[in-house]
Structure formats: C-alpha cells, structure tokens
Amino acid sequence: MEQNLPAPLMGYTQRDILKKITTLLETHHIPYMLTGAWSVIYYGRPRASHDIDIVVEIKPEKLETVILLFSSLDTDFTVQPEMIRQAVAGGQKFFQVVYLPTLVKIDFWLLQNDAFDQARFVRRQTVTILNQRMTTPTAEDTILKKLLWYRQAKLEKHLVDAAFVHQIQKNNLDRNYLTKWAKKLKVEKLLKEVSTLDLEPYM
C-alpha cells in the first residue's frame, strides 16, 4: 500500500522563495531591489547562489507594519523582529529571514544614506525574472557594487560576476555613468580590468 502514498513535500526551492518574498514586497509597496547573485543572474550568467540579497527601504513609521508582514510568512521561515528593529534603528545594516527546511537565507540590506546607495536605488528598474515582476539595480550599478565587494572582501567571484555582466551587457551600458561612479568609488582600475576580460559564457 505504501506505493499509493503521496510523495513527501520537499518545501520551497530558492526560486519559490524568491518569488514569494518579492510578491510580498510588491503587494505591500515596500521599496526594494534584488542585488547580489540574482542581479548577476539576470544581467550576466546563470550561476548557483546560496542566499538571496535584497536592498529594502523601511522608514521608521512603517517598521511595525513590515514586522507584521514578515511574521505572516509560513512558520518554516524564521523572523526575528528585534533584529529588524535594530537594523532600521541603524544598529546594523541588514537583517535575515531564514527558510529552515533548506537553510536558504534572505539577507535584507537596509538602504543607506551614502550617495551611491541612494543613486542606484533611484535608478533601479522593473524586470521580469521567473515570469514575475521584480526590481533590480541597473547593469551598471550591478557591476559597480560587485567591484566594491571585491575590493572589500577580495573574493574572486565578485570580480568574475562583474566581468560577466560587463561582457554580456557591454553594448547597453551607460559608459559615462559607469566611469563617473568608478572614479568616485575608487574602482577605476578594477573596472578597466574586468572590461578587458573575455570569459567563457558558462564558467
């Protein structure tokens, strides 16, 4: 008789989680943009990602409403209201929601007041990912942020990500914007380096 039992539920895939979280943000008009691996996947190349990175703007007066929204997620998602409160209060730059069955982490990065974070947030655009409306940084800002992460962490994946986005989007890039901010952010040499790389499509 066991062969007639339904297959056990495997829970959400990372793609399911991404769609679920962005739907929540879109439905409740919480300003956000995907960053990290998923913006690279959209502009550059398919690659594995262990987590989901999202920049969000949460104004203090909306804090408790946002906490209630995240707390409405399935019980398989861990939400720590105090961590969200501390992030919005400026004690830290991000908070996490974790999907326990697969330990997929959703890192929510609070929009910062620095000029580049504000500029890339203003320039964010709506695109279609996984057949769903989502918001991402532009290709230029994806490259610049990856170069910043490489400069800070010296992880080669950030440089490779930037190079793939540059290589694939090179005919669509706003060169003036890219050059201006590379100079301001002191990543001109890194930008020049990635712009000369010729990478295989699916490394």
Residue 171's alpha-carbon distances to 10, 93, 164, 175, 190, in angstroms, are 42, 34, 13, 10, 19
- Dihedral over Cα of 125, 129, 131, 135: its sign: negative
Beta-bridged to residue 134, according to DSSP, are: 127
pTM to 2 decimal places: 0.89
What backbone phi and psi angles, to 5 degrees, belong to 97?
Answer: -120, 135
How do residues 137-147 score in pLDDT, each as one tens digit? 999 999 999 99
Mean pLDDT across 142-169: 94
Q: Is the domain of 127 the same as that of 152?
A: no
Q: Is the domain of 152 the same as that of 130?
A: no
DSSP E strand stretches across the chain:
32-35, 51-56, 77-79, 94-99, 104-110, 125-129, 132-136
**Nearest to 162, CA basis, from 34, 128, 170:** 170
Residue 74's alpha-carbon distances to 33, 84, 137, in angstroms, are 22, 18, 28
Q: Which domain holds residue 98?
A: 8-137
**Count of beta carbons in the 10 Å neighbourhood of residue 5:** 7
- Boundary of a domain, candidates 104, 119, 137: 137
- Boundary of a domain, candidates 137, 164, 179: 137
Residue 169, domain member (yes or no): yes
Output the pLDDT for position 155: 92
Instruction: Tell whether the model's pLDDT for residue 61 goes beyond 50.
Output: yes
What backbone phi and psi angles, to 5 degrees, belong to 79?
Answer: -130, 130
Q: Is the domain of 42 the same as that of 130?
A: yes
Residue 80, domain member (yes or no): yes
Tell me the pLDDT band of 193, cut-offs 50, 70 and 90.
very high
Domain containing 92 — which CATH number?
A: 3.30.460.40
Output the pLDDT for position 201: 59
Instruction: Tell whether the model's pLDDT for residue 11 goes beyond 50.
Output: yes
Residue 11's alpha-carbon distances to 7, 17, 74, 131, 136, in angstroms, are 12, 10, 11, 20, 26
How do residues 100-141 score in pLDDT, each as one tens digit? 999 999 999 999 999 999 999 999 999 999 999 999 999 999
- Dihedral over Cα of 119, 153, 105, 63: its sign: negative
Instruction: Tell whether the model's pLDDT for residue 7 goes beyond 60.
Output: no
Residue 203, domain member (yes or no): no
More confident residue, 200 or 109: 109
Residue 2, domain member (yes or no): no
CA atoms of 129 and 197, how far apart (whole Å): 27
